[in-house]
Structure 1
């Protein structure tokens, strides 16, 4: 009788132990917000920095850039360091907005 109870207890303990979900199985993976780089001239968008076919430097969405000077980019609004013109905020063109 003792062996039967001991066996039953071991089976019950093992089934309860293996029925637990591990924390790694239930965690949700958070996606990084994708960075969007946009050409100030033509509106071309890319997920990588670089230049577009107009040979203009792509500007990260939300950054400030000079409309006259290529490559002058800042995280804060203000004036261009080359020409003194007011920096414009780079926003995605309306026709390329995600719904």
Structure 2
């Protein structure tokens, strides 16, 4: 499509970590997952535009549990997260077409 850029063309401008602690693992990373120690996720897309960063990922709360499709949107200000929005939806076991949620 005209004007559309693929992921490799979208510059990711996430502010650097100010502390020097190692990055957290991708298991139980999000506060909503605190009650689910086996929760895991896989990043599908990362898109940035100015001070906004969008994460699209699939996740499971426990092994064998139905998957989730999740979007997180962050607005950065002065190198810190100023606002956060998210939306999630269960991934259906079957679909009426060949399109996936990812």
TM-score, scaled relative to structure 2: 0.19
TM (norm. structure 1) is 0.19
Structure with the greater alpha carbon radius of gyration: 1
Structure holding more strand per residue: 2
Higher share in helix: 1
